[in-house]
Amino acid sequence: MTQQQLYLKSIDCGPTGSNSYNKLANTLSSEGESITLNNGQSMTQQLYLKAIECDPENLLSYNNLTTTLLRGKSVILPNRQIMTAQQLYLKAKQINFNKIYY
C-alpha cells in the first residue's frame, strides 16, 4: 500500500479525523495534483478544508492551506468565513498561542 492509500483507508475508517485529511493533502504536489477519496469525492485544496471542518483548532491545517492559495486570493472556510493566506497564518498563530497559554 502506498502512503496515500493508507491515508485514504484511515479516512474511510475514521472520516472525522482531521490529521488524515491534512497528511493526505501533504502527499500531493503543489502543481494541482488531485486525489479521489474512496467515497468518490474529488479533492485538492478541499482536503485541508475538510481537516479544518473536522478540527477547527488544528493549526497545521490552516498553515498548510496557505500553500494552496495564489497570491492575493482567498478561500472560504467551512464556517463560511473568507480568509486570505495572511489571515490563515494569523489564525494558526492564534491557535498555537491559545494552546500554549490556556
Three-state secondary structure readout of 68-91: HCCCCCEEECCCCCEEEHHHHHHH
Beta strands 82-84 and 42-43, pairing class = unpaired
Between the CA of residue 85 and those of 17, 18, 60, 68, 88, what are the distances in Å?
24, 20, 13, 9, 5
Decide if domain 3-101 falls under CATH 3.40.50.300: no
Query: What are the structural domain ranges in the chain?
Result: 3-101
As a whole number, mean pLDDT of residues 71-98 equals 91
- Dihedral-angle region of residue 80 (phi above 0 means left; psi in -120 to 50 means alpha; beta otherwise): left
Confidence band for 102, pLDDT divided at 50, 70 and 90 = low
Would you state the pLDDT for residue 30? 54
Confidence band for 10, pLDDT divided at 50, 70 and 90 = very high
Q: Global pTM?
A: 0.79
In tens, the pLDDT along 19-76 reads 999 999 888 865 566 666 666 655 768 899 999 999 999 999 999 998 888 888 899 9
Would you state the pLDDT for residue 29? 64
Amino acid (one-letter) located at 38: N
More confident residue, 11 or 71: 11
Would you state the pLDDT for residue 61? 93
